[in-house]
Amino acid sequence: MTHASVHTMLDTYPKDLGNIDQHKLAECIDTCFECAQTCTACADACLSEDMVAELAKCIRTNLDCADICITTGNILSRHTGYDANITKAVLEACQTVCRACADECERHAGMHEHCRVCAEACRRCEKACAELLASLG
């Protein structure tokens, strides 16, 4: 579920957004930022676990995912000088890192609830990126 402000900002954009599906765009922007926050929090929670050394890959993947999700959300929020090739490349990168992060977090989900929550957020973001990519043609 997207936040109203994402839809409102898209609705108030002074130029034509083109043929992009505004609902899928808003969903993807919102999901990217949610995923970034969840991954950052998961990395921090992993650092607080007693078995932190065993979570090193998870922490790194969480931080990579958070960075790419923030970048993707920011790029999707800008429309001036829109370049479809850049948008598609960023969405593909975000989809890839979300898949990798979800896979890694799922390995620890049985022992660490924060990893389960993070894996779910990553899967939602992976799906939102795929849906927006598919709508771009």
**Structure token pair of residue 60:** 């790194």
Read off the amino acid at residue 69.
C
Task: Tell me the average confidence (pLDDT) per consecutive run of 10 residues in the chain, 137 residues long.
Answer: 56 54 87 97 96 94 98 86 82 98 96 97 98 88
b/e code 89-109 from CB counts within 10 Å (16+ = b): ebbeebbebbbbbbebbbebb
Domain at 21-136: CATH architecture: Up-down Bundle (1.20)
**Closest C-alpha to 91, from 58, 128, 51, 66:** 128
pTM: 0.88
CB atoms within 10 A of CB 9: 13
Read off the amino acid at residue 65.
C
**C-beta of residue 105 within 8 angstroms of C-beta of residue 119:** yes
**C-beta of residue 77 within 8 angstroms of C-beta of residue 9:** yes
